[in-house]
Amino acid sequence: MKESVRILKNLEDESIEILRETAATFAKPVMMYSIGKDSSVLLHLAKKAFYPGFIPFPLLHVDTTWKFKEMIAFRDQVVADAKVNLIVHTNQDGVAAGINPFTSGISEYTRVMKTVALRQALDEHRFDAAIGGSRRDEEKSRAKERIFSVRGAGHSWNPRAQRPELWRSYNTRLASQETMRVFPLSDWTESDIWMYILQENIEVNPLYFAKPRPMVARGDQWIMVDDERFPLLDGETPQMRTMRFRTLGCYPLTAAVDSEAQTIEEIVEEVLQVKLSERATRLIDGAGEDSMEKKKTEGYF
Amino acid sequence: MVETDSVPHDTISAARFTRRSGSTISSGEVDYSLLTDGLEAEREQGITIDVAYRSMSLRDGKRLIISDAPGHEQYTRNMVVAASRADIGLVLVDATKGVRTQTLRHSTICAIMGVKRIIVAINKLDALGYSQEVYTQIHNELSPLFTKLGIDDVRFIPMSALNGDNVTTASSTMSWYSGETLLDAIQGWNPAAHVGSDSRMDIQLISRAEDFRGVSGTVHGAGFAAGDKVTVLPSKQKATIAKIVTYNNENATAGDLESVTLVLEPDIDATRGDVIVNDGNELEISNRYQAKIVWLHEEPLVQSRSYLLISGPTQAPVTISKIKYVLDVVSGEEKPAQKLQVNEIGLVEIATDRAIALEPYSQSRQYGNFVIVDRLTQQTVGAGMVEHSLRRGTNITHQAYEVARSDRSLQKSQKAQIIWLTGLSGSGKSTIANELAKQLFAQGFHAYVLDGDNLRSGLNMDLGFTPEDRAENVRRVSEVAKLMLDSGLIVITALVSPFETDRQRARSLVEEGEFMEIFIDTPIEICRARDPKSLYKKADSGKIPNFTGIGQEYEVPLHPELVIDGTKPLLDSVKLIMARIQ
């Protein structure tokens, strides 16, 4: 077996084992579905883990109402094909309060529409385990997190009091008020994700592929004008630039990169060349040196 | 990571201009520790606290996962976590300081955790004029240690990480060294292929779909193929693998480490935690093992307390029946001990409540490992590596007798059960037990009281009141109660039994519905005022160090069947209990 194929096989087997542990040991697990490439891979692995049975947990999408239009269309189609139950949750209090990424401030917007919304959804459905597609190579505090990562009361994360996690003997037990976050893709890298998408022929969102899109410059980042809610400056008109997205999120907070990549093969090629972390295109992660860790302690994924 | 261009450039650039407080590295230079120290607290304090994991690709396409562990003694447990999955251990020696106790500790932990190759990087030789003598001295000092630890694959590499000598490229200044670089020593590693024909799969879950039933899990060893004859443990049922199912195909084989689903013929009754082995692989199962344990929690290991053992999908209640010694990881000395404190490594005997299939860790890291979980807090408190099973466990087979508990209960026209009274000293347990026994006797029931104080003058006369002794006290009383229950009696126990885990263990010995935990809830001020045995007076004057409620905590039952208000009249309380018995 080719080394690159063997690496993907090992990662796949490990992730399937983690998904099965989750299904076998929790009363009410849920899988986060954020529509991006990692979610696509996670969903594919879940199909494999429980084949020929159905995926034994629902998917949860936290919709901030500011996602790219193409994301929502893609989500609904994928979910219909996969025959899984999808729960979509929006923080209606936040909507009523008019929280938005332009005038509320990025931190406040993220806290209300993502972190609080997620906590609401987990509480409402009494999920005791939430499976996420985070990878350790994404961000420095994620490199420190367990595969089975305990959350205390209020979904808080205490990075200094994590359970020791040894071998593959996972402690999935919960004390009163605790819940679990599960990260089956912990050991994967961005290029593993793309190589696997290529190998398994997994469908991904069209936003990942380069095409001329209506863009405006903000600082040194390019942001797509996805709908009429985008506040243009006086006299500003979006210009068409051939770009693609490395990660998907809320459109006003997700920058695009110049690219000509129109196939998965070309994306793989590009990812292997590019030497910037994918988080570089996410505006919410720049808001302070330890912002990811802080958000995570409050319950963010 | 940096030399092989495995770190994103924006991350390196951040490490160039971000500074920890008190950092002496000048701005513009890369502070490499920032590449893995990801937590706020680590950056503030300038130390590594927890393990960081980084995946990277080597030049030859192989995958390397770096587990960066802190090296200080108080973080031994984090080192153990990192080493538990590692093939290669990189022990860094600062040549300007020579071999230190830290070096010995790191090397010993690597050996205990089953790391196969050790690379000793002798660093900072640039500060000593690239001296071959220093290198040789450290080499000669450490070599016997690795021989003693039983690691034969050891590589010593003279290095200057600062100048890049022998990190990824051979040093031009240390011409006296012609061996491999650090990167060579890592890339050259090849995991040993499985030897032998044994195959094993622990069942993770039962896979069900319309007209389909299979068992899912991860395969280890030589692998399985359709048509293989297998045995399911512990039931020893025989079956044949009808087919092996994965998403892509119903492929014929399942190799080492593959996650698969097996369809068995006949479709025997198997459950999560059961073990499937191929015929000819006579796997021993036992409920007693000798194991090395690393203690991971601030609260020390308590002998006789019931914990939970987790090994892959296997879970079983476990007690540590004996601590044989605690190991001094620096001197290698084995010292007798009553307790295992956090970060200590000891050799122990464990007893599980049922036979499970563990293997020696030296033969199988996968099936020789287990973690120990506190049954109340659910914290992972210990990590274990099996040395061997103990014959005692396997040679005792349970003898079944034809007259059953139900027959004996029926003969006495009652439901045999355990009434477990728990509460502070002076809460009224013995008084309630006495009245209960009187009323039961009067109504023709067969009941018996096991009183904590009375038992301490006989069966438990060797026990004191430390947490360990209390755990053992409760263990013995629960075993006796179980025997009496089996004889068809209603058993009333009256003992403080202050710890939830110990009471839970007592409950776990018997069937559901046979155990009634009754919390006698009396405020400590009232118990103190009653003080029938003058114990509070003695405890207050410091004469009884481990007295519950004063020197030791009482853990209020989480889910008792009944709570009795100990300030209410005796006959009312007993009436409440009698109503539950009849």
Cβ separation B378–A166 shorter than 8 A: no
Angstrom distance (rounded) from CA A216 to CA A222: 6
Give the model confidence (pLDDT) of A9-28 as tens digits.
Answer: 999 999 999 999 999 999 99
**Is residue B194 a part of any domain in this protein?**
no
**Is residue B301 a part of any domain in this protein?**
yes
Q: Are B444 and B352 within one domain?
A: no
Q: Are B23 and B130 within one domain?
A: yes
Among B245, B278, B311, the domain-final residue is B278
| Chain B residues with CB-CB distance to A45 below 8 A | none
Pairing of strands B447-451, B490-494: parallel
- For residue A124, give the H/E element and its range: helix A117-125
Residue with tokens 């004390």: A175
Q: Are B180 and B208 within one domain?
A: no
**Is residue B192 a part of any domain in this protein?**
no
Mean pLDDT of A79-90: 89
The alpha carbon of residue B230 is apart from the nearest alpha carbon of chain A, in Å, by: 22
- The answer for residues whose C-beta is within 8 angstroms of residue B543's C-beta and 6 or more apart is none
Of A164, A169, A175, which has the smallest distance from its Cβ to B378's Cβ? A175
Quickly state the pLDDT bin for A286 (edges 50, 70, 90): low
Core vs surface per residue A261-280: b (16+ CB within 10 A) or e: beebeebbebbeebeebbbb
Nearest CA in chain A to B77: A164
Tokens of B300: 């020390």
Tokens of A75: 């989500």
| Chain A residues with CB-CB distance to B62 below 8 A | 3, 7
Quickly state the pLDDT bin for A289 (edges 50, 70, 90): very low
So what's the ipTM on this one? Answer: 0.87
**Is residue B1 a part of any domain in this protein?**
no
Pairing of strands B237-245, B229-233: antiparallel
The alpha carbon of residue B248 is apart from the nearest alpha carbon of chain A, in Å, by: 8
Nearest CA among B70, B66, B68, B122 for reference residue B96: B122
**Is residue B3 a part of any domain in this protein?**
no
Q: In a 10 Å sphere around its CB, with 0-12 CB exposed, 13-18 middle and 19+ buried, how is residue B444 labelled?
A: exposed
Angstrom distance (rounded) from CA B400 to CA B412: 21
Instruction: Check: CB of residue B168 under 8 Å from CB of residue B64.
Output: no
Nearest CA among B5, B74, B59 for reference residue B35: B5
| Chain A residues with CB-CB distance to B245 below 8 A | 51-52
Cβ separation A166–B383 shorter than 8 A: yes
> How many angstroms separate the most distant Cα atoms in chain A?
61
The alpha carbon of residue A219 is apart from the nearest alpha carbon of chain B, in Å, by: 17
The alpha carbon of residue B62 is apart from the nearest alpha carbon of chain A, in Å, by: 7
- The answer for residues whose C-beta is within 8 angstroms of residue B66's C-beta and 6 or more apart is B1, B36, B52, B53, B54, B55, B56
Residue with tokens 């020390």: B300
**Is residue B549 a part of any domain in this protein?**
yes
**Cα B133 to chain centroid, rounded:** 44
Q: Are B55 and B97 within one domain?
A: yes
**Tally of CB atoms within 10 A around B406:** 11
**Is residue B193 a part of any domain in this protein?**
no
B251, B255, B258, B263: CA torsion to nearest 10: 50
Q: Are B146 and B265 within one domain?
A: no
State whether residue B331 is helix, strand or coil.
coil
CATH code, domain with B224:
2.40.30.10
* Structural domains of chain A, ranges and CATH numbers in brackets: 3-189+290-297 (3.40.50.620), 194-286 (no CATH)
Q: What angle do CA B195, B198, B203 make, to 5 degrees?
A: 125
Task: Give the domain range for residue B344.
Answer: 286-393
Q: Are B383 and B266 within one domain?
A: no
State whether residue B521 is helix, strand or coil.
strand
Cβ separation B39–A54 shorter than 8 A: no
Q: Are B311 and B221 within one domain?
A: no
Q: What's the pLDDT score for residue B396?
A: 53
Nearest CA among A267, A150, A186 for reference residue A19: A186
Nearest CA among B188, B191, B180, B182 for reference residue B4: B182
Mutate to test the interface with A, among B36, B48, B53 (most CBs of A within 10 A): B53
The alpha carbon of residue A290 is apart from the nearest alpha carbon of chain B, in Å, by: 6
Q: What's the pLDDT score for residue A109?
A: 87
Q: Are B182 and B209 within one domain?
A: no
Tokens of B250: 């119903």
Q: Are B66 and B95 within one domain?
A: yes
Residue with tokens 């300030």: B567
* Local confidence pLDDT in tens for the 582 residues of chain B: 887 777 877 778 778 877 776 777 777 788 887 777 767 777 777 777 788 888 888 888 888 999 988 888 888 888 999 999 999 999 999 999 999 988 998 899 999 999 999 999 999 999 999 999 999 999 999 999 999 999 989 999 999 988 889 999 998 899 999 999 999 999 999 888 888 888 999 999 999 888 899 999 999 998 999 999 999 988 889 999 999 998 877 666 888 889 999 999 998 889 999 999 998 887 888 999 999 999 999 999 988 888 999 999 999 999 998 899 999 888 888 999 888 999 899 999 999 988 899 999 998 899 999 999 998 889 999 999 999 998 755 555 556 677 777 888 888 888 899 999 999 999 999 999 999 999 998 888 899 999 988 898 889 988 888 888 888 899 999 999 999 999 999 999 999 999 888 898 889 888 888 999 999 999 999 998 888 888 888 888 877 777 887 777 899 998 899 999 999 999 999 999 999 887
Instruction: Check: CB of residue B344 under 8 Å from CB of residue B299.
Output: no
Instruction: Check: CB of residue A160 under 8 Å from CB of residue B41.
Output: yes
Of A54, A167, A171, which has the smallest distance from its Cβ to B84's Cβ? A167
Give me the DSSP letters along B201-222.
Answer: EEEEEEEEETTEEEEEEEEEES
Residue with tokens 């155990």: B515
Q: What angle do CA B114, B120, B123 make, to 5 degrees?
A: 150
Residue A8 has pLDDT above 90, yes or no: yes
Across chain A, mean pLDDT equals 89
Q: What's the pLDDT score for residue B561?
A: 93
Of A52, A164, A167, which has the smallest distance from its Cβ to B296's Cβ? A164
Q: Provide the domain count of chain B.
A: 4
Of A52, A169, A276, which has the smallest distance from its Cβ to B209's Cβ? A52
**Is residue B398 a part of any domain in this protein?**
no
Mean pLDDT of A35-39: 92
Q: In a 10 Å sphere around its CB, with 0-12 CB exposed, 13-18 middle and 19+ buried, how is residue A96 labelled?
A: exposed
Q: Are B250 and B214 within one domain?
A: yes
**Cα B470 to chain centroid, rounded:** 22
Among B278, B294, B315, the domain-final residue is B278
Pairing of strands B286-295, B345-356: antiparallel
Q: Residue A202 is which amino acid?
A: I
Mutate to test the interface with B, among A8, A142, A167, A274 (most CBs of B within 10 A): A167
- The answer for residues whose C-beta is within 8 angstroms of residue B119's C-beta and 6 or more apart is B88, B89, B90, B91, B154, B155, B157, B182, B185, B186
Of A13, A23, A176, which has the smallest distance from its Cβ to B218's Cβ? A13
**Cα B109 to chain centroid, rounded:** 16
Tokens of B390: 């103990």
Angstrom distance (rounded) from CA A131 to CA A18: 10
| Chain A residues with CB-CB distance to B84 below 8 A | 166-167
DSSP-based helix, strand, coil % in chain B, nearest 5 = 25, 30, 45
| Chain B residues with CB-CB distance to A169 below 8 A | 310-312, 369-371
Nearest CA in chain A to B212: A52
| Chain B residues with CB-CB distance to A10 below 8 A | 63, 257
CATH code, domain with B509:
3.40.50.300
Q: Are B170 and B216 within one domain?
A: no
Among B239, B255, B278, the domain-final residue is B278
Q: Residue length, chain B?
A: 582
Instruction: Check: CB of residue B95 under 8 Å from CB of residue B135.
Output: yes
Q: Are B541 and B559 within one domain?
A: yes
Instruction: Check: CB of residue B380 under 8 Å from CB of residue A171.
Output: yes
